[in-house]
Amino acid sequence: MSREPVLRVAGLSVRLGGSHILQGVTFDVAPAGVTALLGRNGAGKTTTLRAILGELPATGSVAYDGREILGRPTHRLVRDGLAYVPEDRGVFAGLTVAENLRLAERVPDPDYALVHELFPELATRAGQRAGTLSGGQQQMVAIARVLLNPNRLLLVDEPTKGLAPAVVTAVATVLARVAGRVPVLLVEQNLAVVRRLATDAVVVEAGRVAWRGAAGELLDDGEATRSLLGVGRH
Ligand SMILES: Nc1ncnc2c1ncn2[C@@H]1O[C@H](COP(=O)(O)OP(=O)(O)OP(=O)(O)O)[C@@H](O)[C@H]1O
């Protein structure tokens, strides 16, 4: 397999509401496994994902599978296998689980076998309105939706936020399985999840990359995690 990065972000800059939110963010996403995008609240993690996806006006360069994509419309990137699981999960509360999944189908042969293998509970809850699911179940629907289609890269924003510890573990288990098939760029505040899943880490601080390297190296460095992420050792 090629070791070329699946995504190369270089000098990515975003200005919003008169503020220079991203100030030249540069990092690569490896072609396999999980790359964690870390940083304190407000550092610019979600903005980075949305700029990659073409949802925000940005300058710099984003190469996806070696091709420049900055400025291309979001729907074309999604069609080309760049999938996004947003922090708010974006499920349609008034629709059933099955309807939420059906709306996400982009190909003639969506991979329901994979979805039902990873999320057996979604089959039994197919007729339940998504708005009545627990937060963890809604997160599963959000991840399942993108897995129905062939993907080259998943961008996943804080999938464990607000979930109970046992559910965090379940979501991490699913993401570990998913990352065995397709590379993931993961925004995650839970450093135990990062330690379990991530190979590489990128830390954003005030709109710039403050640290890049092996995730284990960052997490083993108590001083670095304290100064960059504001937390003690995990
Ligand atoms: N539309 C906007 N207009 C002005 N400022 C914005 C806009 N969107 C985001 N920002 C600011 O950009 C900065 C980065 O926001 P972003 O959501 O990327 O942070 P984050 O690292 O994902 O934080 P969190 O961990 O809290 O989700 C924040 O200071 C935020 O207030």
| pLDDT tens per residue across span 36-83 | 999 999 999 999 999 999 999 999 999 999 999 999 999 999 999 999
State both tokens at 211: 């640290």
| pLDDT tens per residue across span 153-181 | 999 999 999 899 999 999 999 999 999 99
Distance from C-alpha of 106 to C-alpha of 168, rounded to nearest angstrom: 28
Nearest-CA residue for ligand 1 atom 23 is: 42
Tell me the HSE value of 91 on the side-chain side, using a 13 A CA sphere: 28
Q: Quick check: CB of 88 below 6 Å from ligand 1?
A: no
Q: What is the pLDDT of residue 90?
A: 85
Domain residue ranges in the chain: 1-81+153-234, 91-150
Report the amino acid identity of residue 104: A
Q: Closest by alpha carbon to 173, among 218, 119, 125?
A: 119
Q: Would you tell me which CATH number, out of the four given (3.20.20.70, 3.30.565.10, 3.40.630.10, 3.40.50.300), belongs to the domain 1-81+153-234?
A: 3.40.50.300
Q: Quick check: CB of 21 below 6 Å from ligand 1?
A: yes
Global pTM reads 0.93
Q: Quick check: CB of 2 below 6 Å from ligand 1?
A: no
Q: Quick check: CB of 190 below 6 Å from ligand 1?
A: no
Distance from C-alpha of 96 to C-alpha of 99, rounded to nearest angstrom: 5
Q: Is the dihedral of CA 213, 215, 216, 219 positive or negative?
A: positive
Whether the pLDDT of residue 87 is over 50: the answer is: yes
CA 155–ligand 1 middle distance (angstroms)? 17
CB within 8 Å of 70: residues ≥ 6 apart: 12, 54, 58, 59, 60, 61, 62
Report the amino acid identity of residue 40: R
